[in-house]
Structure 1
Amino acid sequence: MAQRAVACRQLEGEIGGTHRPQSFPLRVLATLLRLMAKVCHSCGKGPAFGQSRSHSMVATKRRFDPNLQKVRVLVGSAPRRVYVCTRCLKAGKVTKAA
């Protein structure tokens, strides 16, 4: 799982350009980017994992997702659509693009 995240981070910047690493076919690259975990652009908050407990206390695995919203944010000088958690939006940690 960690290797996939590292590969996605390395390849994220290269998709827009003409350079594409020869070790990743386009189909694999598209799959990697589609499976990237949704994390907050500002604070890095991602999913947490735990267990649901039924009435009989049987544990089943579950995932607690943060409340992420897709927002146009100024990254550097260019507007970019990124996921930001509502906590960061409320605190004013990001500047929205007009």
Structure 2
Amino acid sequence: MATCSICGKRAVTGNQVSHSNIKTKRTWAPNLQRVKLLVNGTPRRAYVCTRCLRSGKVQRAI
């Protein structure tokens, strides 16, 4: 799966636990958006998580 190009956040795995305590594997995926960024003055597409977008860690290209 893709990772955030700013903070490195990616999918994590764990157990889904039912009411009868049966455990099955599942993944939790981060909310990644493919956005156009300014990197060294040139626009570039990258995957960025919404937390980095909201906190202003990236400069979006228009």
Task: Indicate the TM-score class for this superposition, using the shorter chain for normalisation.
Answer: over 0.9
Instruction: Name which of 32, 51, 58 aligns with 1:68.
Output: 32
What residue ranges of structure 2 are gaps of 5+ in the alignment?
none
TM-score by length of 2: 0.93
- 1:34 corresponds to: none
Bigger share in helix: 1
Q: Deviations over 1:9-56 (max 9, x none)?
A: xxxxxxxxxxxxxxxxxxxxxxxxxxxx30001100011111101111
TM-score between the two structures when normalised by the length of structure 1: 0.60
Task: Supply the RMSD in Å over aligned alpha carbons.
Answer: 0.8
Moved over 4 A (4+): none
Larger gyration radius, structure 1 or structure 2: 1
Q: Which has the higher strand share?
A: 2
Larger relative contact order (CA 8 Å, sep ≥ 6) = 2
Identity rate, percent: 52
Give the superposition deviation at 1:88. 0.3
